[in-house]
Chains A and B, each alone.
Chain A
Amino acid sequence: MAASLQIFQKTKAFFIEIGDISFFALRFFKEVFTKPFEFKELMRQCYHMGNRSLLLVGVTGFILGLVFTLQSRPTLMEFGAESWMPSMVSISIVREIGPVIIALICAGRIGSGIGAELGSMRVTEQIDAMEVSGTNPFKYLVVTRIVATTLMLPLLIVFGDTIALIGSAIVENLKGAVSYQLYFNQVFDALKFSDILPATVKSFFFGFAIGLIGCYKGYHCKKGTVGVGEASNSAVVYTSMLLFVIDFIAVFVSDIFFEV
């Protein structure tokens, strides 16, 4: 009885949280189109989330392309289909692996950062102070961050995909003596709009999810400094889960429109 009650309580808490996040998102859409617009803060956030993540995304993307090609080569060689490597790697990276992996990396770096930053502002009552001073903290702190992640993540994914393909091309060049020109010719032969457009659209949603969950967790942080860590941790966990849910939905939707 106590266990079922506990499950009920947790389910109830889960739905309450989903509802809260939905209201939080609704408030974001309400605030994002109303003045004043915090462009300066938006630029700062874009710089911190975009430029500062570039190295991490670049290294991750390069290793991703490199390892993916190295691991796939033996299997393709068994079938005598080495020439399919550029097609396979490019489609896999651009359509699925690139966006998901880079979004997860960004969820770890950006999502946790936002959760911790806003959480610490909440527990140190900086957000309350902003409300008292007449500044809209939601617009200044939340809207700018969510817009920044939504705009920056697609660019980071484009960079990550490009670097991953370069890593793959290097492996193919060294192992299979495939020229870079031939490699990228085959890559663009294999890629279609139906590969790149859904992935790009999906990455906006990934960015939005990272910003939204990070801000929500930080903005509603409780229990002092312990809550900051919790907010940061749960931001990453929730965002990672939400990314896969979004990916699942995106694949279904793109399948309807592009017949993948």
Chain B
Amino acid sequence: MQKSTSQKIKLGIFVILGTVLLVSALYFIGNRQNLFGKSIKLHAQFANVNGLQLGNNVRYSGINAGTVIGIEMTGQSQIVVSMLISEKIGGRIQKNAIATIGSDGLVGSMIVNIIPRKGEFPSVISGDTIATYSKIGADDMLTTLNVTNENAAILTSELLEITNKVLEGKGTVGMLINDSIMADDLKQSVFQLKQASTSASKAMAELNGIISSVNYEESVAGLLLSDTASAQKMRTVVDNLEQSSVNIEAMTRSLGTYISEIKEGKGTLNYLTQDEKFVKDLDSTLTNIKEATYRLNENMEALKHNFFFRGYFRKLERQNKKN
């Protein structure tokens, strides 16, 4: 009898423990699917659900918020996905939130991501339909990747050709890489360019110094740059200068014509300037005049000492002394 009671107790413990374990497992699984807590129902309409299944997770900002409880096709191509969201998180989802279908990891099962957006909107209520955004599917990605791969293959083959040519020293790049003389020249050019740029830099610095040292308030340059009246005068001067230059040009042109006429003509001036014999005669005449003048001076001096004229010259000397 004692043994039977002990057996019953042990059996009771075993049965209760087993049942508790089973019920606990069911509770935890149900709790994950929001079956026991308060929840709200949301809908979202997609054109393609990319293999989404009933029971897949729904995440709001990365937090597990609920599960997919219904996938129904409406119309020709629209699919309505119904989600059971826990009330705790559902209260934080605004009406402007967007639902997208994504993958849980690279090879994970599909999930619905609800993404919050900026702005103040009221929270969703049970039965609401939120906006959706269809991401590019894996097939589309693979198709694009295929095109990219083909392009990459073409590019690679062309790049290989270019590389071969470069290695053979063909073309500008090949020459640059393989020609040592050109490399030296280029090096020298670069060095000179560096020097030129250094000089330019220095010049610029000096220019900056000059510009900064200009007294804009009191100097002529400052006056020209800042005083409008002076600027007007300057403009007038420039205009006058321009007019003068025009006149000078006209005068120069006239003078040129006149000179050419002189050169070509047979007048007195041309005779004076062009005839060499005349010049020699004139030179001879001037020599004769000079000689005549000298002799005249001698005659005049002799005249001063002449008996008849001596009295006159003494009289002139006395008058000069008196004055």
Q: Hey, which bits of chain A sit against chain B, CB under 8 A?
A: 40, 43-44, 46-47, 50-51, 54, 81, 154-156, 158-159, 162, 188-189, 191-194, 196, 200, 259
Contact = CB atoms under 8 A, between A and B. Distances in A.
Contacts of B30: 193
B7 to A, nearest CB: 4
A258 to B, nearest CB: 10
Contact of A43 (B7, B21, B33, B64): B7
A193 B26 contact: yes
B19 interface: yes
Interface residues of B, number: 25
B32 A188 contact: yes
B7 A47 contact: yes
Given A158-B18, A200-B22, A192 B33 contact: yes
Interface residues of chain B: helix, strand, loop or mixed (majority): helix
Interface of B: 4, 7-8, 10-11, 14-15, 17-19, 21-22, 25-26, 28-33, 54-55, 57, 64, 107
Given A188-B28, A188-B32, A43 B11 contact: yes
Contacts of A259: 54
A196 B30 CA distance: 11
Contacts of B54: 259
Contact of B14 (A50, A154, A188): A50
Given A188-B29, A191-B29, A44 B21 contact: no
A196 B7 CA distance: 29
A193 B14 CA distance: 23
Contact of B10 (A51, A162, A200): A51
Contacts of B26: 193, 196
Nearest to A94: B25
B309 to A, nearest CB: 145
Nearest to A83: B105
A158 B14 contact: no
A155 B11 CA distance: 11
Contacts of A54: 14
Contacts of A191: 25, 29
Contacts of A159: 17-18, 21
B11 A50 contact: yes
A158 B24 CA distance: 11
A193 B27 CA distance: 10
A196 B21 contact: no
